[in-house]
Chains A and B, each alone.
Chain A
Amino acid sequence: MREGEVYGVIGQSGAGKSSLIRCVNLLERPTSGTVTVAGQDLTALAGRGPRAGKELRTARNRIGMVFQHFNLLSSRTVQANIELPLEILGLSGKERSRKALELLDLVGLADKAGSYPAQLSGGQKQRVGIARALAGEPKVLLSDEATSALDPETTRSILGLLRDLNRELGLTVLLITHEMEVVKSVCDSAALMERGRIVESGTVTELLATPGSQLAAALFPVSGDATGADRTVVDVTFHGDAATQPVISQLSRTYNIDISILGAAMDTVAGRQVGRMRIELPGRFEENVVPIGFLREQGLQVDVAGDTPAGIPAQDGPAAGASAATLVKEGAK
C-alpha cells in the first residue's frame, strides 16, 4: 500500500479479509512473514507470548481501527468513548475532553457528546467509532467492514467522511468490504481476495486496464448478447484521457455505421471517468477491423466478445502507449 491512499480489499465471506486486517495491528498474529506499518516492523515488536508488549501497544495506538459493529462501550457517553484511547495514552482530563470535542466536531456530532451509544443511530455510532479511531492521531486507519451494518444512504455518508479524512488529514485507509459499491466509490486501489490469497491487486485504473481482470469486470459489469447473426459485439473499456472524448459518436460519424449500446457501466472513480461499455457493430468481425482499430487508436481497450484473447492483442494502441498498464496479478505473500 502506498501512503495516503484508500485501499480496498474485497472478497466473499471467509476469504480471509478480516484475518488480513487484524494481522495489520496484530490482533491476530501471522504464522509467518512480517507486518510493516509506517516503516515499523510490528512482528518484531510483538514478542513471543500471546500478550501484547508495551512497544506493540504503543504502535497500535498509532493505528486507528473501525469495526463493523462499532464496538462502543455502552456504559460510557459518546465523549467518554472517544476519550478512552486518550486515557490509554495518558492525557490529562482537560486535554482529553478538548480533543474529544474537536474530534466530535470533525465527524459532525458535536451536539451528541453527552449521549450514550444506545441513543444513536447506526451511522452516528460509526461516526463516533471513526472519531475514536482518530484520537491517537494515527497515520493509518483500518476499517473492518465499517459500513456493512449500515443502510446504503448511511454507507455513502460514512464513506464520504472516510474520503474527506483521507484527503484532509493525509490518512492512509485500508478498508475491508464485501460490497463492490464501497470500492467503487472511495478506493484508489483495490485487491481481490479468494480463499486466503490476494488474486488481483492494483489501482482501479490499472485493474481496469488489465484484460480479464475479475475485479474490473465486477466493478463495471456489462452484459447483453448480439441481437442477431452478422453482428460484432465489442467491449470497450474507458480509462485515462480517452474517457473524456465522445469516441462512440466519432466512430459512428467517421465510418458511417450504426452502433447500438447493449450495456454500459460508467462511473467516476477517484475523480476520473472510467467504465466499460458493450457495443454492437453491424457485420462480422472481419468487416469491422477498421472501426475497432479506430477505437484502439483513441487509447481505448477493446475486447471482442466471443473471441479468444490470443487472437486480439488486447493492448492499448500507440496513442496511449505511455499509459500502458502493468499487469498486477500475484499471489499473497
Chain B
Amino acid sequence: MTWSEMQPLLEQACWDTLYMVGWSALVAVAAGLPLGLLLVLTDRGGLLQNTVVNKVIGQVVNIGRSMPFIILMVALMGFTRSIVGTTIGREAAIVPLAISAIPFFARLVETAVREVDHGLVEAVQSMGGNTWTIVRKVLVPESLPSLISSTTTTIVALIGYSAITGTVGAGGLGDLAVRYGYQRFETELMWITVGILAVVISIIQFAGDYAARRLHRRGGHSGAAPRLKLLRAKPAAETTPESAAPVKTAS
C-alpha cells in the first residue's frame, strides 16, 4: 500500500474514532457524574442517605463494570437499534461505548467526591446551604481536578474500547489496524495506526493532566506560588464582569 492509498483511510479512521469517543465520553460524563454523586450522597451518613437507592445504583454500576465490552456490545444490540435505528456504523457504536463508560466514570466520580473534606460540607450546612448548593458549590468544584483526571482516564479507556467496535463495522483507528494491518498483512499501516493512537492518547493524557494540575495548584499546596500569577490570569478575566466591576464603584 502506498501512502496515497493509506492517507484517506487513516483520515477517515481518525475522524471516526474521535467522533465515537467524543460523543460517548460526553454521554458518559453527563450520566456518570450525577450517578457518582448519588452514590456518595445516598451512602450511609450521606446528605441524602437512602440505603435502597444506594444499593440499587451500586449493583447496576457493578454489573455494568463487570461486563466484558464485546459481550455488552452484542447484548445491547436491540437497545442500540431502538435508539439509532441500526446496529452497524459509528453512530451505533456510540451507544455501547457510552453505556460501558457510564458506570466506569461513575465509580471514578464517587472516589473523587469522597475525597472532599467533610468539614467543607459542614461549613456550607452551617451557612444554611441545602443539598443542591453543597453539590454545586462544594462537592463538584472542590473535586474538579480529580474529576478532570477521571474524565481523561475514561476517554483513554474509550479509545481502547472503540477498537472493538470495529466488529460492528464502526470504523475507527483500531478497526483499521485490525482489518488492514492484521488481517491483510499491511504491517506498515498497522504500525502507523498504532503510532497515531499513541500520539492521540498522549495528547489527551497531557491535556487532562495539565488542566487537573493547573486547577489543583490554584487551590492547592504551597510551593507553586510564583507560578500562580501566570495561571490565575485567566480565571480572573472570567470573573471580571461580575466581581471586579463593583470594586471600582466602591472605591
**Number of residues of chain A lying within 8 A (CB) of chain B:** 43
**For the complex, what is the distance from the CA of A238 to the CA of B215, rounded to whole Å?**
58
Take A71-B122, A74-B142, A118-B222 as given contacts and tell me if A98 and B127 are in contact as well, using a CB distance cutoff of 8 Å. Answer: no
| Inter-chain contacts of A84 with B (CB < 8 A) | 124, 127, 129, 137
Q: Is A298 an interface residue (CB 8 A)?
A: no
Nearest neighbor of B47 in chain A, beta-carbon distance: A51
Q: Which of A60, A74, A114 contacts B125 (CB 8 A)?
A: A60
Q: How far is the CA of A67 from the CA of B122 in the complex (A)?
A: 10
Within 8 A of A (CB), among B103-149: 117, 119-120, 122-131, 133, 137-138, 141-142, 144
B4 at the interface (CB under 8 A from A): no
CA of A104 to CA of B218, assembled, Å: 21
Q: Which residue of the partner chain, among B117, B126, B222, B243, contacts A79 with CB atoms under 8 Å?
A: B243
Residues of chain B with a CB closer than 8 A to A54's CB:
130
How close is B143's CB to chain A, nearest CB, in angstroms?
A: 9
**Alpha-carbon distance A88/B126, docked complex (angstroms):** 11
CB pair A52–B123 under 8 Å, yes or no, is no
Q: How far is the CA of A50 from the CA of B250 in the complex (A)?
A: 42
Interface contact A71-B120, CB-CB below 8 Å: yes
Question: Interface centre among B49, B144, B242, B246, by most A CB within 10 Å?
Answer: B246
Q: Does A175 contact B (CB under 8 A)?
A: no
Asked if A73 is at the interface (CB within 8 A of a chain B CB), the reply is yes
- For A114, the chain B residues whose CB sits under 8 A away are 232, 236
Which among B47, B124, B128, B141 is the interface contact of A75 at CB below 8 angstroms? B141
Q: Does B247 contact A (CB under 8 A)?
A: yes
- Docked complex: A143-157 residues within 8 A CB-CB of B: none
From residue B176, how far is it (CB to closest CB) to chain A in Å? 42
Contact at A73–B126, with CB atoms within 8 Å? Answer: no
Interface residue total, chain B, C-beta cutoff 8 A: 39
Q: How far is the CA of A84 from the CA of B242 in the complex (A)?
A: 14
Q: Which residues of chain A are within 8 angstroms of B218 by Cβ–Cβ distance? A: 74-75, 116, 118
Smallest CB-CB separation from B219: which chain A residue?
A: A74
Checking B117, B141, B220, B228 against A76 with a beta-carbon cut-off of 8 angstroms, the contacting residue is B141
Chain A residues with CB under 8 Å of B192's CB are: none
Q: Which residues of A contact B221 (CB under 8 A)?
A: 118
The smallest beta-carbon distance between B134 and chain A, in angstroms, is: 10
- Nearest-neighbour CB distance to chain B for A51, whole angstroms, equals 7
Closest partner residue, chain B, to A93 (CB atom): B242
Q: Determine if B128 and A85 form an interchain contact, defined as CB atoms under 8 angstroms apart.
A: yes
Do A136 and B228 touch across chains, with their CB atoms under 8 A apart?
no
Given known pairs A71-B117, A118-B221, the reply for A57 and B228 (CB within 8 Å) is: no
In angstroms, Cα B142 to Cα A116, docked, is 13
Chain A residues contacting B124 (CB-CB under 8 Å) are 84, 88
Known contacts A60-B125, A85-B128, A136-B128; is A98 also within 8 Å of B220 by CB? Answer: no
B127 touches A75 (CB 8 A): no
C-alpha gap A117/B142 in the complex (Å): 13
* Most chain B CB neighbours (cut-off 10 Å) among A75, A76, A79, A84: A75
A88 to B117, CA, bound (A): 20
Is B48 part of the binding interface, using a Cβ–Cβ cutoff of 8 Å?
yes
State whether A75 and B243 are in contact (beta carbons under 8 Å apart), knowing that A87-B137, A101-B250 are contacts in the complex.
no
A25 sits at the interface (CB 8 A): yes
Closest residue of chain A to B220, judged by CB?
A: A118
A101 touching B247 in the complex, CB below 8 Å, given contacts A73-B138, A118-B220, A119-B228: yes
Q: CB of B30 within 8 A of chain A?
A: no
Assess whether A73 is in contact with B142, with CB atoms less than 8 Å apart.
yes
Contact A98 B246 (CB under 8 A): yes
B128 CB contact (under 8 Å) in A60, A98, A142: A60
Contact in complex: B142, A97 (CB < 8 Å)? no
Q: Contact between B130 and A52 (Cβ–Cβ < 8 Å)? A: yes
Which A residues are in CB contact (< 8 Å) with B144? 75
Give A35 Cβ to nearest chain B Cβ, in Å: 14
Across the interface, do A51 and B129 meet the contact criterion of CB distance under 8 Å? no
Residue pair A88, B127 in contact (C-beta under 8 Å) = yes
Chain A to chain B contacts (Cβ below 8 Å), 11 pairs: A25-B126, A59-B128, A60-B126, A71-B117, A74-B142, A74-B218, A75-B142, A75-B215, A89-B128, A116-B219, A132-B127
Extra pairs beyond A27-B125, A114-B232 (17, CB < 8 Å): A50-B49, A51-B48, A57-B129, A60-B128, A61-B127, A73-B138, A73-B141, A74-B218, A74-B219, A75-B218, A76-B141, A83-B243, A85-B127, A93-B246, A98-B246, A118-B220, A118-B221
By a beta-carbon cutoff of 8 Å, the part of chain A in contact with chain B is 25, 27, 50-52, 54, 57-61, 63, 65, 67, 69, 71-76, 79-80, 83-85, 87-89, 93-94, 97-98, 101, 114, 116-119, 132, 135-136, 142
Residues of B within 8 A of A (CB): 47-49, 117, 119-120, 122-131, 133, 137-138, 141-142, 144, 215, 218-222, 225, 228, 232, 236, 239, 242-243, 245-247, 250
10 residue pairs, one from A and one from B, having the closest CB atoms: A74-B219, A61-B128, A71-B123, A57-B128, A85-B127, A65-B126, A60-B128, A75-B141, A71-B119, A94-B246
